[in-house]
A and B are shown apart, each in its own frame.
Chain A
């Protein structure tokens, strides 16, 4: 098969495994996510095991994969190279954290939950897309 056909197939498989992981881990349930973020309440450590399991697995995976000269169906590995810290990064992360804490949704679980779409979730998704457009309008020097 041609690479142009295989690329979307590889993308689908990656998305499917990611979606299965989110569902199995319980991360598509905002109550469980908020339970982790509520350190002063009845703390639910699940998210720590999800993130830990994902990071350790991917750390090993990246070490094996990035030894190769290039990806199987792409010209080169596209890795971020910046190492500096700026206001955009930290301010953006802080704003995201507030939205995450208010809703219990980060982008992955929000999109993965579309099959169980409710009016509040639809509102969150529409506003999130609007936010992405807004962020693009902010000059990079800000």
Chain B
């Protein structure tokens, strides 16, 4: 096991948990990314959009801060040599694959009312049965998908 990656994962995970707690303490909201951004874009609720927009700006500035800090925590986490490539990894496929994947991610998180953050980080912390089922379902579906892509279609690479 890669101890450095594990430690960085734990530290990053604790930060994500603190962010979710912070958003609940200050605004009383669940830190679900698909919900926050999806509602901002598709519904633009009056008087309830400004914090969603600034949340997105903050989310984007996190990795930028890590990149600018150079050689800092974020750089080690990716395990690569190139600074940019470390913090923000390369997409795993081309445009067509990403179009299909993006559509599935959008429709799926829209219908299922949440993603890894809303159901995973927040829902599990609230001991929500719906979030537990959703999290187990998308984890299983993702693992099966990777298995099919890498080991059945890809021939075990």
Residues on A lying within 8 angstroms of B by beta carbon are 4, 7-32, 34, 37-41, 44-62, 64-66, 68, 70-80, 82-85, 88-108, 110-116, 118-121, 123-136, 138
Known: A8-B53, A38-B150, A96-B141. A17 touches B18 (CB 8 A): yes
Our pick among A58, A78, A99 for the contact of B125 (Cβ within 8 Å) is A58
* Chain B residues with CB under 8 A of A48: 9
Q: A21-B15, A27-B12, A29-B78 are in contact. Are A100 and B59 (CB under 8 A)?
A: no
What would 26 A/B residue contacts be, using CB atoms closer than 8 Å? A12-B58, A17-B18, A18-B16, A20-B74, A21-B15, A24-B77, A28-B87, A37-B145, A40-B151, A50-B10, A53-B10, A54-B14, A58-B121, A64-B21, A75-B28, A82-B130, A89-B130, A92-B109, A92-B112, A93-B138, A95-B111, A99-B103, A108-B33, A111-B33, A129-B41, A132-B110
Within B13-40, the residues touching A (CB, 8 Å) are: 13-31, 33-34, 37-38
> Which B residue's beta carbon lies closest to that of A41?
B150
B155 within 8 A of A: no
Interface size class of B (residues with CB under 8 A): 35 or more
Which of B's residues lie within 8 Å of A, judged by CB?
Answer: 1-2, 5-6, 8-31, 33-34, 37-38, 41-43, 50-67, 73-74, 77-80, 84, 86-113, 115-117, 119-126, 128-130, 133-135, 137-147, 149-151
A17 to B14, CA, bound (A): 10
Residue of A nearest to B137 (CB): A93
Are A104 and B53 within 8 A (Cβ)? no
With A and B bound together, what is the CA distance between A123 and B146 in angstroms? 20
Contact of A94 among B42, B108, B113 (CB under 8 A): B108
Q: Do A101 and B143 touch (CB < 8 A)?
A: yes
Q: Cβ of A121: which chain B residues have Cβ within 8 Å of it?
A: 91, 98
Determine whether the beta carbon of A127 is less than 8 Å from that of B106. Answer: yes
> Which residues on the A side are within 8 Å of B79 (C-beta)?
26, 29, 32
